[in-house]
Structure 1
């Protein structure tokens, strides 16, 4: 068919038009067009999905398991998720009507927001945070209100900062610990103080716990395990990070039945169900993937210790991330903005990082570096970063 000049004006959604493209992908795409690049930009494990998990998916295909599953996902997988949440984090969910298998944790965030936000509602977003939060709030018709955190406080969220941003229109608050991009974690005491404010103001909490297993210095405390929080928390998680299953796109949401029922409506119309063969892989990971996961976590802890120490020796201030697989050093002493630093580092030293401002205003003055790379890559990357910082300061 021959293209012709359009005879009509293209009308696009204003809500979509206002959203900026992902800042992470911009630098990833730029780096992919260059040679000799060490990429610390994309948050993806450098491990291949374990063979037994891949084999479970292959076996499901060999058995002809290619039909739709229930909208909420395979009941066996939902039962495994519920069992895992109970034994690992001490929170109980009914796999029949309180667990939904989603197309990655990203879909879980989307349907969670759309299930609780009406036009005009305000959603507090603890920042720096994953790049999708504020745009998805907007697409749900809400208004994202930033709650900043700072490096000098180890990127902990303070209750006073939450209180001063609550208005009569505040409906929900989004948190993510361990955090992407800062690696910050929240312990039980911090979550209990947070819970008091949430309960007092009757807020819904969207708790993104995709990095729950990647906690290095103390066990992860799940938000709904705190007294008074189960009934008001929508928990979002998945298999991408802990089980090295990014491309499989399997996540899940756990929530009281009323919230889960609302989210399932959206999921039914938007997705029908998650990929059947990917769900069988996720089931195998949940039942028999703990050994490999433990090995990955131990390796990430080793890399974290080396990388943070090396960044400090290179002249960049950096707090010790308690979880996830990111370092979030300050680059303020260079006088460059985070975007200028990232672009110059990429062009001059061929190291790809993500400028902190894409994670919210509180991220300006920082860069995000993923240490989910091989030790040899990290060693070379640190040498290049050190040379860049040294030359710039001189």
Structure 2
């Protein structure tokens, strides 16, 4: 038989999705895969019922329905502070996962280099490899997860085609400061590099932190490809609706890639989500308050359980230092945690390029009762760990 693609030699299945299966196997509280256990706003659900009856049920325009592109361009203009042409500067995709892949395939040729901060969402390295590009990993140093400016300069000196920036960050919850973004922007302009942003948590940023859009910085719109989705903002992770915002010359090519990858996102869901995008600004204020309360509840529980963590500034993830419980595999620790303690987490090593095994990631996008049950179980971790060195 002929050999299969060598690109896949270094690939494993998604550890995040695997941990959901392990959680289900042991009946653990699933704080691994980052999806809510609560419903989207009632306005969206009501609109979905209406669309199910009235349609549309056939293909939409490949790069997204006219109404959705217009609504998104209006919303993002308000938050990003830049004008966005709905017909020339936006493409609707099947989630931000496709948005990122579309962006990579649009700008990268085989052999190009791409800067990726580590720890990183597991898809980024895979996206680069599938495009035939070579990742250059720059560490975000724990526990604050800040980058060393000299290391980033050395990465740019290799003349990368693009840098991937997840802000707010998955898995760390880091929100990049304006100073950090400007430093990255200056390097991107100096070395003629694209910036591909993943901003799916743009509306989940806890005060006093503030989300700044790379595309809104002076001179950066023309080289920034902004990717996001509606999944986290409206608690509809199963809908898989994302988008790419970029200048017309980039979007013209992104449309081609998107067309041949997936043709288009689901037409009924594009219609139904308009009810969410048209919600008043108070929705986003309430969203910030909601996740701030969830964060404080969960972190208080971690304190009571005596666990060490880095306080997240945005998104809904928290990195836990498990070095006092194990000097072995974080993967084995997470499986033990799900089985013996009843809480599922993601091994931190799945996010790090470096040899790091002392972190796991929880998420707190859950109902209060779910978080309280997880906290109750985590309070037994220390005693159970004394019986077994994992």
TM-score over 0.5 for the pair = yes
- Equivalent of 2:105, from 114, 122, 130? 114
Pairing of 1:287-298 with structure 2 (within 5 A): 287-288=278-279, 290-298=281-289
Root-mean-square deviation over aligned CA pairs: 1.9
Instruction: Please state if 1:151 is matched with 2:115.
Output: no
Instruction: Name the counterpart of 1:356.
Output: 348
TM-fit CA distance, 1:225: 1.1
> Which whole-Å CA distance do the structure 1 matches of 2:252 and 2:344 have between them?
42
Give the 3 Å change call, closer, same or farther, for CA 165–393 of structure 1 in structure 2: farther
Q: Across the two proteins, how many residue pairs are aligned to each other?
A: 384
Instruction: Name the counterpart of 1:4.
Output: none
Give the 3 Å change call, closer, same or farther, for CA 161–312 of structure 1 in structure 2: farther
TM-fit CA distance, 1:145: 1.7
Contact residue 120 and residue 169 of structure 1 kept, 8 A:
no
Q: State the secondary structure of the residue aligned to 1:206.
A: strand
- Equivalent of 2:75, from 77, 84, 97? 84
Instruction: Name the counterpart of 2:169.
Output: 179
Instruction: Please state if 1:301 is matched with 2:288.
Output: no
Instruction: Name the counterpart of 2:192.
Output: 202
Instruction: Please state if 1:370 is matched with 2:360.
Output: no
Instruction: Name the counterpart of 2:242.
Output: 251
Give the 3 Å change call, closer, same or farther, for CA 250–290 of structure 1 in structure 2: farther
What 5-or-longer segments of structure 2 have no aligned partner?
none
Contact residue 22 and residue 335 of structure 2 kept, 8 A:
no
Contact residue 74 and residue 279 of structure 1 kept, 8 A:
yes
TM-fit CA distance, 1:393: 5.2
Contact residue 159 and residue 193 of structure 2 kept, 8 A:
no
Pairing of 1:158-173 with structure 2 (within 5 A): 158-173=148-163
Instruction: Name the counterpart of 2:213.
Output: 222
Contact residue 39 and residue 352 of structure 1 kept, 8 A:
yes
Pairing of 1:28-43 with structure 2 (within 5 A): 28-35=20-27, 37-43=28-34
- Equivalent of 1:189, from 150, 165, 179? 179
> Which whole-Å CA distance do the structure 1 matches of 2:268 and 2:324 have between them?
49
Instruction: Please state if 1:346 is matched with 2:338.
Output: yes
Pairing of 1:258-269 with structure 2 (within 5 A): 258-269=249-260
TM-fit CA distance, 1:290: 4.9
> Which whole-Å CA distance do the structure 1 matches of 2:82 and 2:359 have between them?
35
> Which whole-Å CA distance do the structure 2 matches of 1:67 and 1:273 have between them?
11
Instruction: Please state if 1:325 is matched with 2:319.
Output: no
* Greater CA drift, 132-141 or 63-72: 63-72
Give the 3 Å change call, closer, same or farther, for CA 364–230 of structure 1 in structure 2: farther
Contact residue 231 and residue 238 of structure 2 kept, 8 A:
yes
Give the 3 Å change call, closer, same or farther, for CA 157–46 of structure 1 in structure 2: farther
Instruction: Please state if 1:142 is matched with 2:154.
Output: no
TM-fit CA distance, 1:267: 0.9
Contact residue 118 and residue 140 of structure 2 kept, 8 A:
yes
> Which whole-Å CA distance do the structure 2 matches of 1:47 and 1:227 have between them?
39
TM-fit CA distance, 1:56: 2.2
Q: State the secondary structure of the residue aligned to 1:205.
A: strand
TM-fit CA distance, 1:10: 5.7
TM-fit CA distance, 1:66: 1.9
What 5-or-longer segments of structure 1 have no aligned partner?
1-8
Contact residue 165 and residue 198 of structure 2 kept, 8 A:
yes
Instruction: Please state if 1:212 is matched with 2:205.
Output: no
- Equivalent of 1:129, from 120, 131, 136? 120
Contact residue 342 and residue 354 of structure 1 kept, 8 A:
yes
Contact residue 237 and residue 253 of structure 1 kept, 8 A:
yes
